[in-house]
């Protein structure tokens, strides 16, 4: 386990931001599908960011139709997908490096 407190704090902040984003996706699913909060949380429990975005794509096309709102939502999802990919790469590289240092 890394001992750098600032680095650990940064990873903690990143994890909280990621989960906040996922919660927003869950609430978007709730709104687009017209289900209750409890139903949305149950249906999306333990689901990945990718799953949530894919589910929104299908729901949004039906609920919003073609237009500016759909395009804005799609752009936001693409931006978040890129951030999630970058976050994964950073985390994997960090933990891989940490494991290699532990072996030395």
What pLDDT shows up at residue 3?
Answer: 74
Six-digit token pair at 52? 């949530």
Helices 68-103 and 49-64 cross at an angle (nearest 10°) of 180
Number of domain units in the chain: 1
- pLDDT tens digits, one per residue of 11-63: 899 999 999 999 999 999 999 999 999 999 999 999 999 999 999 999 999 99
CA–CA separation, 69 and 72 (whole Å): 5
The range of the structural domain enclosing residue 15 comes to 5-103
Q: Which of 73, 71, 68, 67 minimizes the C-alpha distance to 52?
A: 73
Quote the pTM value: 0.84
Whether the Cβ atoms of residue 32 and residue 45 lie closer than 8 Å to each other: no
């Amino acid at each position: 386990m890394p001992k750098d407190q600032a680095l650990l704090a940064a990873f903690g902040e990143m994890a909280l931001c990621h989960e906040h984003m996922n919660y927003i996706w869950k609430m978007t699913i709730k709104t687009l599908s017209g289900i209750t909060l409890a139903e949305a949380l149950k249906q999306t429990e333990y689901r990945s960011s990718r799953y949530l975005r894919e589910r929104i794509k299908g729901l949004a096309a039906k609920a919003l139709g073609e237009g500016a709102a759909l395009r804005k939502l799609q752009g936001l999802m693409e931006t978040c997908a890129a951030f999630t990919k970058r976050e994964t790469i950073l985390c994997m590289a960090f933990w891989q490096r940490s494991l290699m240092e532990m072996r030395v």
